[in-house]
Structure 1
């Protein structure tokens, strides 16, 4: 399987990254709260209080409405950089600085958000008394979007070998108290992806609301287990500051503790709210990235290597710019350390009908999700649903619905097969 390239006829010497400056939009995400704050001050000065209230919700409006609409309008972009440009793009630090800027902007907004949900009279932006309850929800909803997309930024940084980028990854995760993702994603998910043992790979017939508690708890357990194994090999206790789960969580404790010390205990429920919503945004992306897809087992009993066919992809340009090419997910799993600007689109990889932002909205409504995606999983496996990663509680019903001859689909209930799913899914 080869990567597609819409620029085959462009001489290598004349090629340039048309998205080079569009990547700067990635810095607009952590600035969302500051932008919204500016609109609030403007609208309050004009007496437009309803518009001011809506402005606090700028994060959800962008993620759930504006980006999906732009994706539909602009469509996909499957162009890839020529091979001769890969090393040059890889070493161009401009692309790294865009990522580095995310964290300081993110936390500037976070401090302001904590202030606004506890302030008794933020008159300098036009209020006479505290924010209303709905405005406070808007404040933390926007911070949840920033924190959730921040996990994706941390994902990009955490795969790299540069020590600064690894630390920035953990720091960025502190807002959502999801530092264990740094361990589980790199050493867990990338090893077990598209298998029944991976808590971050959704099964056919499993809706997002079933998947969410399973993946949150399973990923946390897996991260701790991986670190415990690492310390066992060194003959040391995992209860150490060098434990990457513990030191990442400690960053969250320090951050949250500082906000409570500055703004009082009243800020804590709002910080928890934005964290839960934020990491749920990550997990809904995890849900759609591998839904129903599974690596088959070879004659040796081992899973086949991860291939482009094991990830759902999209080339819709708007989401790709805001999520640093996360939608080119097959190439990411093939080359985890490859930087976002050179991730490639693959011919033949399973494709979503729209960008991740649009599919997130569908995933929140299981009947719509099933209507759109179940037929695509079935088509991907040539009508043989036993080759899919099936949600165990619904296995018999699914096999009966799609014409399988028996509930086992040729596999025993205790195996961990590549075709079908009868494992627990917990790592």
Structure 2
């Protein structure tokens, strides 16, 4: 079955060659279901590791061996492409599959028949599903249709990270690539220092944003109208229902997979804007967000698996644009590989800094003062990079003019 043909102005005919490959995004929640079946049949703990191996081994290998693809849909067909509801169902289906994963995970955990290695694989598998599910929630949460926003909130419930809906839309998109944004990583800041700052800062920011909204409308903060409380209540109901069905010991599993899930989100946040900064204008305001303020990748396989999240610059420029229509920009700073590989590097700060710090510096043409610097590393970064610049200048051949 071929993709429908779309006609662009000027007689250009285009067909989305990836139309059915976007279903790759549903592979992560399918794999734990397969793992459960194999574990139930064989009694081996190994099947619980299928999902982590797919995400953290196979995807990086495929990204590394597949040519990047920076091509964009032709101008003039964006509205028709976005109106195709097939692409929405490719995200809608993630939610029920995640529900099945959670139920099977709780059942397996409560059965007490899994060893320590299997339990670790189970937590990583379902936590990865929940974490990638935040990406599906992110896609849906930016849309105007009420049903999509509700599905977004439900998809955030497994990770107890429903406040992301408030903070991301009304906080991160306003403050991105500035020191005020808890989700924008700073040059010299390792992921393990970034993690507590962004987890606590995002929750605090979401609460402050929602409290401010309610005060402006003359509403009580502690009420059912508070979207942060509402989202946390969805998590409480979900966890309580699963604990009632499978026993209170399932709460340990649910808590562990939630931490893995929201950590998956935060390591992606770490990657997306590392070291990038918006400059102040003459009026003292931050410049407008543009393609220079997000790291991007045209790695094909990771883009398919993550609903093209890696075309992040276009997302910040056009938050309501649907994933299938996101574009690659020449002016965007490019990652050396897809997110699946970069996540592994981010978890090992020395490897990450060796790979990315020079790219941040190159992006700013050697002027480290233009980057978003980690305060505790600021003096060291300024001294080190100023010295490197002096050494480079001293080795340049003298002018013969």
TM-score (norm 2): 0.93
Indicate how the Cα distance of structure 1 residues 155 and 277 shifts in structure 2: closer, same or farther if over 3 A, else same. Answer: same
For residue 27 of structure 1, report the CA deviation from its aligned partner.
1.6
**In structure 1, distance between residues paired with 2:222 and 2:245:** 29
**In structure 2, distance between residues paired with 1:169 and 1:12:** 38
| Map 1:124-163 → 2, pairs under 5 A | 130-163=113-146
8 Å Cα contact 1:148-1:282 kept in structure 2: yes
**In structure 2, distance between residues paired with 1:150 and 1:287:** 17
Partner in structure 2 of residue 302 of structure 1: 285
**In structure 2, distance between residues paired with 1:393 and 1:276:** 27
Partner in structure 2 of residue 102 of structure 1: 94
**In structure 1, distance between residues paired with 2:360 and 2:10:** 38
What SS is found at the alignment partner of 1:368?
helix
For residue 38 of structure 1, report the CA deviation from its aligned partner.
2.8
Partner in structure 2 of residue 291 of structure 1: 274
Matched, 1:315 2:298: yes
Partner in structure 2 of residue 413 of structure 1: none
**In structure 2, distance between residues paired with 1:390 and 1:13:** 46
**In structure 1, distance between residues paired with 2:147 and 2:363:** 40
Matched positions, count? 381
Partner in structure 1 of residue 20 of structure 2: 21
For residue 239 of structure 1, report the CA deviation from its aligned partner.
1.0
8 Å Cα contact 1:385-1:404 kept in structure 2: no
8 Å Cα contact 1:12-1:84 kept in structure 2: no
For residue 111 of structure 1, report the CA deviation from its aligned partner.
0.4
8 Å Cα contact 2:36-2:104 kept in structure 1: no
Instruction: State which of 53, 61, 66 in structure 1 corresponds to 2:58.
Output: 66
Partner in structure 2 of residue 271 of structure 1: 254
Per-residue displacement from partner, 1:194-243 (whole Å, max 9, x unpaired)? 00000000000000000000000000000000000000001111111121
Instruction: State which of 192, 195, 199 in structure 1 corresponds to 2:178.
Output: 195
**In structure 1, distance between residues paired with 2:57 and 2:373:** 31
Partner in structure 2 of residue 345 of structure 1: 328
Partner in structure 1 of residue 159 of structure 2: 176
Partner in structure 1 of residue 103 of structure 2: 111
What SS is found at the alignment partner of 1:302?
coil
Structure 1 unmatched ranges of 5 or more: 1-8, 121-129, 406-427
Partner in structure 2 of residue 39 of structure 1: 38
For residue 404 of structure 1, report the CA deviation from its aligned partner.
6.9
Partner in structure 1 of residue 204 of structure 2: 221
Per-residue displacement from partner, 1:318-348 (whole Å, max 9, x unpaired)? 0000100100000000000000000000012
Across the aligned residues of Structure 1 and Structure 2, the Cα RMSD in angstroms comes to 1.6
Matched, 1:77 2:60: no
Partner in structure 2 of residue 164 of structure 1: 147
For residue 37 of structure 1, report the CA deviation from its aligned partner.
1.9
8 Å Cα contact 2:45-2:114 kept in structure 1: no
**In structure 2, distance between residues paired with 1:40 and 1:264:** 21
For residue 257 of structure 1, report the CA deviation from its aligned partner.
0.7
Partner in structure 1 of residue 398 of structure 2: none
**In structure 1, distance between residues paired with 2:11 and 2:32:** 41
Matched, 1:247 2:230: yes
**In structure 2, distance between residues paired with 1:10 and 1:93:** 22
8 Å Cα contact 1:32-1:146 kept in structure 2: no
Per-residue displacement from partner, 1:173-201 (whole Å, max 9, x unpaired)? 00000000000000000000000000000
